[in-house]
């Protein structure tokens, strides 16, 4: 009787390296797209906050005996944006959201501005930032 050969199980080093290369390529392609979606999601949160601030300003102005916007409005900072009332008069206001931290890499959309007339969409870049 002859010796029986045992079958080998497992992966060779070459097969393992090919799998690692494929995973690396997929990660290299997928991560930038994922990071872009995350930045857009955070930007949507900032836009929502600015729209809430706009409604709060309008509500404040309606409740005043002498209509005016609130220059002392509290606009809390978040992890990714700071908010500031730049100006508030009897007829107009401007609130700015400025990206901070990792959100500051949101090219072209690091500053979002809303006024009493609505979002500042005076050029194509600003319109693109406000579109969802």
Task: Report the relative pairing of strands 81-88 and 111-115 from DSSP bridges.
Answer: unpaired
- How many Å apart are CA 12 and CA 19, to the nearest integer? 11
pLDDT tens digits, residue range 69-128? Answer: 998 888 888 899 999 999 999 999 999 999 999 999 998 899 999 999 999 998 888 999
The pLDDT mean for the chain works out to 90
- Nearest Cα to Cα of residue 97 among 40, 43, 35, 37: 43
Q: Please state the pTM of the whole predicted model.
A: 0.78
- How many Å apart are CA 116 and CA 92, to the nearest integer? 6
* Residue 97: Cβ within 10 Å count: 27
Tell me yes or no: is domain 13-130 CATH 3.30.700.
Answer: yes
**Sign of the C-alpha dihedral, residues 34, 120, 127, 105?**
negative
């Amino acid at each position: 009787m002859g010796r029986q050969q045992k079958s080998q199980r497992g992966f060779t080093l070459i097969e393992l390296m090919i799998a690692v290369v494929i995973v690396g390529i997929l990660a290299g392609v997928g991560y930038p797209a994922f990071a872009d979606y995350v930045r857009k999601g955070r930007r949507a949160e900032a836009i929502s906050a600015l729209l809430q601030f706009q409604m709060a300003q309008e509500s404040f102005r309606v409740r005043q005996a002498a209509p005016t916007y609130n220059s002392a409005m509290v606009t809390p900072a978040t992890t990714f944006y700071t908010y500031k009332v730049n100006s508030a008069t009897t007829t107009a206001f401007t609130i700015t959201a400025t990206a901070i931290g990792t959100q500051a890499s949101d090219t072209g959309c690091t500053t979002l501005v809303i006024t009493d007339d609505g979002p500042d969409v005076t050029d194509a870049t600003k319109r693109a930032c406000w579109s969802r």
